[in-house]
Every structure is written in C-alpha cells, then in structure tokens.
Structure 1
Amino acid sequence: MTKLSFQAFLKSLNTHSVIDAALDKTDYIALDLSINNFQLKSVDTSSSSELEQYIFNYIKTNKAKIAFGGYLEKRNIYQRSTYFNQQNSDSERNIHLGIDIWIKANTPIYAPLDGIIHSFNNNINYGDYGPTLILKHKFEEFEFYTLYGHLTEASLIDKSIGQKVKQGEQMATLGTAEVNGDYPPHLHFQIIKDIEGYKGDYPGVCSLLDLEYYKANCPNPNLLLKLK
C-alpha cells in the first residue's frame, strides 16, 4: 500500500470550518494583498484603519462576507515594522506562510480537528500576531500543529497546556487592531509540521532565502480549510 505524503494526508482529513460552518463557501472571496496588487499603491497600508476600509469595501463590493488568501504572497505591508525588516533585501521577511481570513472582530473561531493545546502567548511586537494559540494534532503516524494568530486577549484566558480541544469546538475569537499587532481584524491560520521548539509563536512570514524550507514545513493551509 502506497504511503500518503504529508500533504496528501492533510487533504484527506474531514475538517470543521474555522469560521461559522453555516456560512457557505460562496460567501468567501479571494483577496490579493501581494506586491502585484496595484490597487494597494493608493492605500496607506501602514494604517490599519485604511487597510481595513480597503479590505471590507472589497468584500462588500464582491457581495461576499469573508475574504481569504495570502499563502506565499510577497507583501509590502510588513515594511512598516522593524520586526520584519533586514538590511539585505533577500533576508527581508515579506513572504506570508499562512492563510488570512478577513472578517469582523469578535468572530468566533472553531477547531478544525481534534487536538490539544500545545502553547499560547500574546506576541506584542508591532506587526506581530498579538494573542496566539497553537494546537497539536496527531493522526496515525502524522503529527503536526495549527497556529491561530490575531485573537482577542480573552481567548487566552483559562487555557492550559495539554487541554483537549474537540473538532468544531469554539476556542477563540478575533481581536481588534488594538491587540492583534495593529492589523484589520483577521485570523492568521497556519500549518506547521515541525514546531522547532517554539511555544505560542512560530514565524508566519519568511525571507526569500528561507522560502524552500518553510514551504516544506508549512504546507498550504487550504489543504485543511478547503476553500475555493
């Protein structure tokens, strides 16, 4: 019997939506925030309020309820923060490793799979995740992690390492710009194969120099999200 690759295994899993499962896949619209989106040249992306207006106008114009996207996008929006900037352009961290789901603050977030809480932390660097939760999953011979960034501070209250989380259970809510690293409200969702000893945090943006490693260690989150 042929052994499944990690990516094929992820794709084979039956998952619960991380957002309200009652929403239809047609309620989602793909959003491009890469350097190739020339509309962003007229938006001050260093301003969370201007970027929020652009994103939510885009959602409304397309008669959608949620925008999503961003896996392996090269983005300029990280240039506002010294947390990502490097002197060498090749080592600048500007390639996004998760999928962002853009929806209003305080939206409930649900566990896509059974797991346990691996770790959590409030990452307060400017432009960072803010409150962050990481789940650990183990199915058959596969062990991996999912990261949920830009949550509310309340999402981390009463959490404990090793706590069981059931598929479909509400485990968090989305934060505002005031607590989420100064971004419009959204969920950063990322798959991580090897957590490398990180706790409550893991790089969500990488440089061109490190891209091949992170592409292998952080496969496309849409394997689990199963969005269009």
Structure 2
Amino acid sequence: MKYIKTISLFLIINSFFGCGYAKINNSWNDPTQEAIQIKSPIDFIDKYGTYSIVSTNKKIRLIDFGDVDKNKNGRKYTLKKFGVQIFNQNKVFDVYKSTVPLKSNVDINILYRDKNIVAFRVREDFNIDYVKTPFRSFIVNTFVYNFNSNNFLTIPVLASEDNNADGKGVDLLQGDQFTFNSKKGIFTYLANIKYAQGGKSSVFKVDLSNTLKCVSATQGCENIGLSTAELSTMNK
C-alpha cells in the first residue's frame, strides 16, 4: 500500500512539473502562428507574445514581463516591463529589456533575415505624465543578432523628447532598411530621420562587417557595441 502511494505521489509531481515545462515551450509553439507563417513569416510585431519565425528552431518575439508599480513623490503610477527574446535551438535568450508607461506604442519590425542573421528595429513611443512637466518620448534602437555566435549588435538610432502639449516636437523615423552586399561582405543599415527642429530630413547610415563589427557610421562607431545575449530567466 505504501509502495502504491509513493508511485501515485511521483506521478502527480511528475505531471505537475511536466505541465509547467510544456507551458513554457508552448509559448514558442503556437499552431495558429506557425500555420500563418509557413509561407510568409511576419515582419511587423506590435502585440506581446507574438513571434516571428526566422528559420527552423529560430524565432523572435516581443514579450510582456508584467507591470511594475511605482511611487514618485507620493504619486503612484504603473509601468510596463517588456523585452525582446530570441528562441535559438530550444533555448531562450534576452536581447533587450525596457519599461514604458501602460499607455504606449511598442513594436518590432524585422528588417532582414537569413539562416544565421536577423536584424530588427524596436520603436517606443509614449508620454510621461507622472512628472511635474509631462513630455513625449520617441526611442528607436536597431539590433542585429547572430544565431551561430549568440552575439548581437545594438545601433542607437533615436532618443528624442518633447515637453510641448501636442508632443509634435520629437524627431521621427520615417523609414529604414537593412541590406547585405555579398560581394563586399558588408551589412548596411539606413534610416531616414525627420528632425523636429527645422523640419529637415537626413539619412543615418551604419556599415557593418560580416562579423558584425562597425566599419563606419554617420555618428561614429563609439556607441555601436557587440554583446552576448543572456539566457532568459523570465519565460512567460
């Protein structure tokens, strides 16, 4: 009788942990998303939990890590903690983490993909209204991730703020692209930026080697660095 109880307890525990493990994996194996992307992987992600298939066992997603309650000088407010994760050969890595107000627009655009490289742009557009002087913030970062080395490059594109009531004084991204010149072995990122001051547009350009080393950049290579993606401890 004692032996039977032990087996039953083992089965219950095993079932519990088995379900938990399956739940984590299922977030990267949604039959609906998989079916849609068989012929046409999505390039634009603006919903948390949605992923884009790069190739077999290689995916990227925008993830909601939950809300964070804050208190600044007696004024309570809540922020959304989010990030970008890479699913690489059955392991999940964090490439980017940040926080934004609950009422904000966050999206990812996949600019380039092949079997080893994926380039994507993260755009954050939000208003900070829990401070004495509210302001609008518009942030754009582009990332280039190498599935073989698990290294990624970060390209800061825009970080603009405006404290006018209409928020129209921020610099804006009007369009961008990421290409690879196979003859030269050079990746090129181009962004068309419209500056609020003067209303003029200009091109922001970055050239990278095939090892993701910055070769040249409009604003210099000093702020364009290569990092190693960390194994995620926050799989929702």
Shorter-chain TM-score category? under 0.3
User: Please, what TM-score do these two structures have when normalized by structure 1?
Assistant: 0.24
Say which structure, 1 or 2, has more relative contact order (CA 8 Å, 6+ apart): 1
Of Structure 1 and Structure 2, which has the larger fraction of its residues in helix? Answer: 1
User: Rg: which structure is higher?
Assistant: 2
